[in-house]
Every structure is written in structure tokens, then in C-alpha cells.
Amino acid sequence: MIGELSKKEIKEMLDILAQTYPEAECALDHGSIYQLLVAVVLSAQTTDKSVNRVTPAFFAKYPDAESLSRAAAADEEAAVAEVSEFIRSIGMYRTKAKNVVRLAQKLTADFGGVVPQDFEKLQELPGVGRKTANVVLAVGFGENRMPVDTHVLRVSHRIGLVTEKDAGLKDALATEKALLSVIPEKRLTEAHHSLIFHGRYCCDARRPQCDTCPISKICKRHGV
């Protein structure tokens, strides 16, 4: 058995979370799948709010892969420097600027500027790992996926959806696989967003609000 919750308890928990956070969705502002991809790349180890503060001006100048790729073709170093200026207020901005420029170049050269709806091909792009690929497929293409970020990792272990025996507390891949085995496929993306919102607004890392938690009667309350 994965986790400590029965199928009935998992369904009840998912239903309650969905009702509690009906607005739960991707918090990154974007106007296209390409912009979503870039925003997720920029969000690594940075808050979504911080990313949303820098992307409007950046996307106004470079709304798609082709426009940024053209700038890089003229002078890649200058393009990276310019992107760095747009995003300098977020963490690891220099590395992210290089990745975004090279991502645009590869998208343009290999995929005609179109973000591929393919898990493996997405991960060939600079700065794109498993979580980012899952987010793009879930939010951009409507697939049911379970991206595991810090909220999902912490909350899923704390409430008993998975246990340390199933997956290490810091093992995102093992946690993803464990969650895939207990959450119905048609509810994966919904559950992903619900767990993130629950982690942000109730099940805080340091001070979980157990007294007012809507799933307190089901939660196994691990000190994760």
C-alpha cells in the first residue's frame, strides 16, 4: 500500500481540497505556451510573484521564441545581457538568462518556434527538467500530470498521501511516482494545483494551520 490513506479517504480529501480552492491554477502569468515555458524556467527557486513582476516587460519585447532567437543571432552575448537586465531581480538571473536565450534558439532551430507536446523533447531544452516539462504539459496542453514542486513534496508527505517509506522526503521523482499510483489519472493536475494552494495558504512549512485545516480529520499530520 502506498501512503496511509484509503482510496475513499483520498477521494474525500481531493474533493474537499477542490471545494476549498476552486481558484487553484497556475499562478504564472502567460499569454502562450511558449511564455508559460519561459515563466516556469524562470520560477526555479523563485516565487511566482517575483516572476510575474519581470515577465510583462520581457514578453513585451520578446513575445515568442523567434523574436528572441533573432536577437541572439545578431549578438548572443548582448541578448543574454539584455535578458539579464529584464530578470535581474529574481534568483540565479544570469544562468536563467543564458538558458532562456538558448531555449529560444533551440525551439526556433529544431521545432520551428513551437513548444513540443512531448515530455522527452521538452527536457532537451536548456533549463527544462522533469517538473517544468510536467507543468507545461499539464497547464499548456491540458494533460493530466503531477509536477512535484516544494509544496507538493512537503504536503503530500505530511498529510499521508505518500510516506517516507514510499519516497524520500526530498526525492521528487519517487514522490511523483508514488502520487501517480494513488491519485486517479483524471485528477492529477487538479490535485497538483490543490496541493500547492493548500501548502501556500494553510499547510505552511513552519506553521501549519491545523486548527482551521479543511482536511484535518483525514490528514495523518506528520511533522514534515
129, 179: one domain: no
Which sequence positions are flagged as catalytic?
Answer: 131, 149
**Residue range 46-60: mean pLDDT, rounded:** 97
Query: Which of these three, 140, 164, 193, is where a domain ends?
Result: 140
Determine which of 64-78, 169-183, 210-224 has the lowest per-residue pLDDT on average. 210-224
Query: Which of these three, 140, 169, 189, is where a domain ends?
Result: 140
160 touches 5 (CB < 8 A)? yes
pTM above 0.95, yes or no: no
Cell digits of residue 218: 483525514
48, 134: one domain: yes
50, 133: one domain: yes
Query: Which of these three, 84, 111, 140, is where a domain ends?
Result: 140
- Which are the contacts of 79, defined by CB distance < 8 A and separation ≥ 6? 68, 71, 72, 101
170 pLDDT above the threshold of 90: no
pLDDT at residue number 209? 95
pLDDT at residue number 3? 76
- pLDDT, tens digit, for every residue of 102-113? 999 999 999 999
Pick the more confident residue, 163 or 37.
37
